[in-house]
Structure 1
Amino acid sequence: MMWFWRSVVGKLWFTILLLVSFVLFILTILLLKFFENYHVQEAEKELTQLATKVSEVMHEHTDEELGRSIAWTLVGDMSKAVIIADQVHYWYSPANTRLRDLPLSLIQKDDDLQKVLTERKQIKKKMYLPNIQVGDDRYGQLLIVGVPLETADGKHGAVFIYQSLQAVEDTTQQTKKLIFLAAFIAIVLTTIFAFFLSTRITAPLRKMRQAAFEVARGKFDTKVPILTHDEIGELAMAFNQMGRRLQFNINALNQEKEQLASILSSMADGVITFNRDGEILITNPPAERFLQAWYFEQGNEAEVMAPLPPQVNELFARVVGEEKEQMTELTLQGRTWVILMSPLYNQTAVRGAVAVLRDMTEERRLDKLRKDFIANVSHELRTPIAMLQGYSEAIIDDIAATDEEKKEMAKVIYDESLRMGRLVNDLLDLARMEAGHITLNYKTVQLAPYIERIIRKFQGLAKEKQINLSAEWKDENIEMTIDPDRIEQVLTNLIDNAIRHTDENGTVKVIVERSGDGVTIHVQDSGSGIAEEDLPFIFERFYKADKARTRGRSGTGLGLAIAKNIVEAHKGMISVHSKLHEGTTFTFYLPNATHES
């Protein structure tokens, strides 16, 4: 029931009912007062007219008996009259037995009634007479009207007619009952009408409320039926327009949100948004990887677990405090991150910050490679340049005494110039390969004669060092589509390295086997091997596992890096397995190309 009084229907119904009840109450009070005064005034008017007629009858008839008879007839049963001719002659209406006689002494003692006799005035008065019976009650109120009287024989007296107000009150009570009945019927009808009116008025409002709940639950296509063309109908129309506009705006916001989320998730840089308290609000996948690296580095101990590294917290504090862009760099799990943090403003105040995290690991690695490259090139060029300069000065200064010594010096200068040329060419090839500018000229070749031809180039060097150089075939009928010149460069480098690092009476073997739709080639030697700590870096530029090589046995340190790039350009892979004093095996896999050029 409580919901009814809290609803618009209940409030409107109660307001109308209260207003009508109040109006009816005021109207009832006024009507009761009006009818009560009206009945009293009518009674006074009737009694006055009756008293005047009695006075006239007594004045016109010289026969007092006849005059009184007519007067008593006029008075009737409802009223009682007293006719006073003088102090000793007075008569009461004998026909009326409901009212007792009015004592003459009371008339003589009452100043107002006495004025009828003394001043010849007409008097109307209500009197409460405790010793006079009024109707069935002992006590009551009388309405007395007095008019002057002049008899036919010239005596001056008065006619007093009095009547109990009980009759007036009875009439008034009947009127009250009718008024109360009418008021009750009016209230009942008002209640029904108010309830009907309130429900009719609030029915569209209830539908709008239900529609508002539906819109609040996300059903923005909910429509309110337009039943009228008044203000409520206009309100329903405005509600429908609001729903359509809201649907449009939310769709636009969702599209913009999805677009921003797509942009954020597809960014290569990490993004973290903080509120004023430093709590994380939004992250994207690269930022998640940064946080996971921090959590992993912190371990699983709850007491040391922190949501962000202390460097980031300090950076956030500086950004919020100084309201300026700040930057820092830190390393997590072997990766280098550069963090650029800027304040976020809410109109004029700082409401948080946004951090952009860039993974600079590759840039730092390339920067280190650049520095190492410059250092290695400088180191590699220093020796031949110094030798060229030294032997050239020796020739210029005629230090060489004989032609043989001069030829020997010239031979050293020539060899060093060739070495510098090879170094420069290798650097140019490697730079083009790493930049993705390598061009492969594919041809279909039979591997057996192709590799035999390459091996024959090294047979003289192998015999000179008393090394057994051979090829082993698991399948001699292998045909491949490759760039023969580039693969020859790879095999030449691997076989040359194997012969140079194999002692006398050792073996170098090239093993060829089919592997799926491609081929796997092993270059195996029984040489000195490579230390385990050097294996991860063997394919890097200028890296030399043998730190004690002599100048005559030393290469440029670029051969394996070039070989790796050539193999990967063929969509293949290369690896190495080695153990000190037990030999080395280089293995590379080449898939069969799907096109020819």
Structure 2
Amino acid sequence: MTELAGDTIVSPSVAFESDSATERIVEIASPTKRSRRQPLITTRIGILFFVVSCCALAGSIASASFPNDRAFVSMVWIGTVAACALCGLFSIRSVRTLRTIESELRQSLGAPARWKTVRPLIGADPITEAWNELLQEAASATDADDSRSMATLDQEAVTLARAMRGLPTAWVITDLDGRMRFISPPACGLFGLADRANHGGRDLLDLLSLRTGTDTEIAKRNRLLSNVRMIHERHQVEIGGERVHLRISRSRLDGRVGDGEGMAWILSDVTQQALATQSRDQFLMTATHELRTPLNNLQAYAEALAAEEQLEVERQKEFCNVIVSESHRLGRLVDQLLTVGQMEAGSMVANRHELEILPMVEYATDQMRAQAEQKQQRLSTELPPKLPTVFGDRDKLQAALVNLVGNAVKYTPDHGEIIVRCGIHEGCVRIDVQDNGPGIDPDEQEKVFEKFYRGTNIANSQMRGNGLGLAFTREVVRMHGGEVELKSQPDHGATFTMRLPIGGQSRSGI
């Protein structure tokens, strides 16, 4: 605020002025009492010292001007001393209020509660009124803090606890030794514990099977219980007879002085991610093998044709047939690889036309007949003379049919039988592919339609596959408004049923 020599108009704001001996004092002027104010105390004291200095200077000059007139010089110095004494008295009176405020501030230093015992000052000057208003504001703020009773704080704690329990995260609070204090419902569900039971004092590391075990697990336990502030670990534990992959994030709770210490644990089930990574790695290995085999065959037969100038026509035809067969096999695998990205991104689209199903079924069986004859299998069809048309993408539906028939031929043992049937059922064109192969366990019948998944019996056998065929087939059929079903029993074969709506009504609208 700019200091004026004369009177100034009061502004409805708070003014802060500082002094070398004490802190600035807040002067509050009510907007309803617009009056003219006096100069600040520090300003008045400064004026008094200026007057004293002027008097002393005038006395010195007068004494020097009339050195022989002792009476005059004495009167001058007496006047000068009187003026200084009078200014000193006015200064003492002016700073009395400041001295009182400074004394109260000194006594309140380190004892904030003493504000409640400070009494207002008596007086009508602005600094006294401002000090009293400050005391009133401090008392109001203290009363507001005191109004938060223990019941209110307890209610806030209960609300916070309910919010923490409602988080969809498996979290646990333990002491420094791993004994549980609090556990969230998702964490109870993760370990198979009763949600409403009291699990206080239970050993979390025992649930994680880290109290005993290999040297690696013991080292992991020591790291989790160490003084490191934040630790991230991956751990596998058997829960309910199943192997679960966990991502553990542990942080130490360093509270204020006097607060209990402990640890906060966040447990994330990443089993599906681990399985997906494992399946993807397995897929890459399988895809590499699947790509190498037809490429080697193509190269070998092409080199044989180029090297043998006098090769018989029948042998040339045989070699050409092998090259064509391997090229089709390679093309199907590449198409499936390209389709995986579309399936992951949800961008697979269908180029729809009115289609006859019977020629497509016959084409799929003809494509697999050569492989069936190599395994001495019986591949037969039971087709009606005519079927209604469907509205769909020829290439994708054709590939889906080849996948179904090809799986049946691939996994049916030698001298087995595969039957392909077509018919109409409940407004849909129904295509059944039945085999008498090893069958599929009931627990795996839904999983075989997942990308990269291969059944236990198939994975342990010598049969190679990439785990994409059935996932691709189901996705294509669903795009056309249909569905693929599986009925199977171990050692009694399997029947895959494809249903396509007559007229091709699409679920996706693509």
Contact 2:173 2:265 in 1 (8 A): yes
**2:207 is the alignment partner of 1:309:** yes
Tell me the residue number matched to 2:144: 241
Measured after TM superposition, the shift of residue 423 of structure 1 is 1.1
Could you tell me which amino acid in structure 1 is paired with residue 287 of structure 2? V
Tell me the residue number matched to 2:133: none
Find 1:529's aligned residue among 437, 446, 450: 437
Tell me the residue number matched to 1:508: 420
Structure 2 CA distance for partners of 1:576 and 1:505, relative to 1, 3 Å: closer
Separation of aligned partners in 2, 1:250 and 1:441: 65
Separation of aligned partners in 1, 2:507 and 2:235: 46
Structure 2 CA distance for partners of 1:472 and 1:494, relative to 1, 3 Å: farther
Separation of aligned partners in 1, 2:417 and 2:347: 42
Could you tell me which amino acid in structure 2 is paired with residue 509 of structure 1? R
1:164-175 equivalences in 2 (<5 Å): none
Q: Secondary structure at the match of 1:529?
A: coil
Tell me the residue number matched to 1:335: 244
Structure 2 CA distance for partners of 1:386 and 1:532, relative to 1, 3 Å: same
Find 1:289's aligned residue among 189, 195, 202: 189
Contact 2:249 2:266 in 1 (8 A): yes
**2:296 is the alignment partner of 1:386:** yes
Measured after TM superposition, the shift of residue 582 of structure 1 is 5.6
Measured after TM superposition, the shift of residue 411 of structure 1 is 4.7
Contact 2:441 2:488 in 1 (8 A): no
Tell me the residue number matched to 2:84: none
**1:187-217 Cα distance to aligned partner (Å, 9 max, x none):** xxxxxxxxxxxxxxxxxxxxxxxxxxxxxxx
* Matched positions, count: 341
Tell me the residue number matched to 1:346: 255
Measured after TM superposition, the shift of residue 586 of structure 1 is 0.8
Tell me the residue number matched to 1:417: 327
Find 2:160's aligned residue among 245, 257, 268: 257
The root-mean-square deviation of aligned C-alpha atoms, in Å, is 5.2
Tell me the residue number matched to 1:155: none
Measured after TM superposition, the shift of residue 353 of structure 1 is 0.6
Measured after TM superposition, the shift of residue 497 of structure 1 is 4.9
Separation of aligned partners in 1, 2:228 and 2:486: 55
Separation of aligned partners in 1, 2:270 and 2:150: 44
Contact 2:400 2:473 in 1 (8 A): yes
Contact 1:319 1:342 in 2 (8 A): no
Structure 2 CA distance for partners of 1:234 and 1:529, relative to 1, 3 Å: closer
Contact 2:480 2:507 in 1 (8 A): no
**2:184 is the alignment partner of 1:272:** no
Q: Secondary structure at the match of 2:297?
A: helix
Structure 2 CA distance for partners of 1:408 and 1:358, relative to 1, 3 Å: same
Tell me the residue number matched to 2:281: 371
**1:400-435 Cα distance to aligned partner (Å, 9 max, x none):** 542634564455344423322221111111332134
Q: Secondary structure at the match of 1:273?
A: strand
Q: Secondary structure at the match of 2:348?
A: coil
List gaps (5 residues or longer) in structure 1.
Answer: 1-232, 297-301
Separation of aligned partners in 2, 1:242 and 1:350: 25
List gaps (5 residues or longer) in structure 2.
Answer: 1-135, 212-217
Measured after TM superposition, the shift of residue 234 of structure 1 is 12
Tell me the residue number matched to 1:361: 271
Structure 2 CA distance for partners of 1:486 and 1:455, relative to 1, 3 Å: same
Separation of aligned partners in 1, 2:292 and 2:365: 33
**1:267-304 Cα distance to aligned partner (Å, 9 max, x none):** 4x5221113453323333432222217x89xxxxx9xx
1:175-214 equivalences in 2 (<5 Å): none
Measured after TM superposition, the shift of residue 370 of structure 1 is 1.6
Could you tell me which amino acid in structure 1 is paired with residue 160 of structure 2? K
**1:451-502 Cα distance to aligned partner (Å, 9 max, x none):** 33434545867999886523469x988x977666644543343345557869
Q: Secondary structure at the match of 1:438?
A: coil
Tell me the residue number matched to 2:472: 562
Contact 1:271 1:287 in 2 (8 A): yes
Tell me the residue number matched to 1:322: 227
Contact 1:509 1:523 in 2 (8 A): yes
Q: Secondary structure at the match of 1:346?
A: coil
Contact 1:345 1:352 in 2 (8 A): yes
Q: Secondary structure at the match of 2:254?
A: strand
**1:8-65 Cα distance to aligned partner (Å, 9 max, x none):** xxxxxxxxxxxxxxxxxxxxxxxxxxxxxxxxxxxxxxxxxxxxxxxxxxxxxxxxxx
Larger radius of gyration, structure 1 or 2?
Answer: 1
Contact 1:480 1:593 in 2 (8 A): no
Structure 2 CA distance for partners of 1:343 and 1:541, relative to 1, 3 Å: closer
Contact 1:320 1:350 in 2 (8 A): no
Contact 1:543 1:557 in 2 (8 A): yes
Tell me the residue number matched to 1:162: none
Q: Secondary structure at the match of 1:322?
A: coil
Measured after TM superposition, the shift of residue 548 of structure 1 is 12
Separation of aligned partners in 2, 1:319 and 1:581: 48
Query: TM-score, normalization: structure 2?
Result: 0.51
Contact 2:478 2:507 in 1 (8 A): no
Tell me the residue number matched to 1:94: none
Tell me the residue number matched to 1:187: none
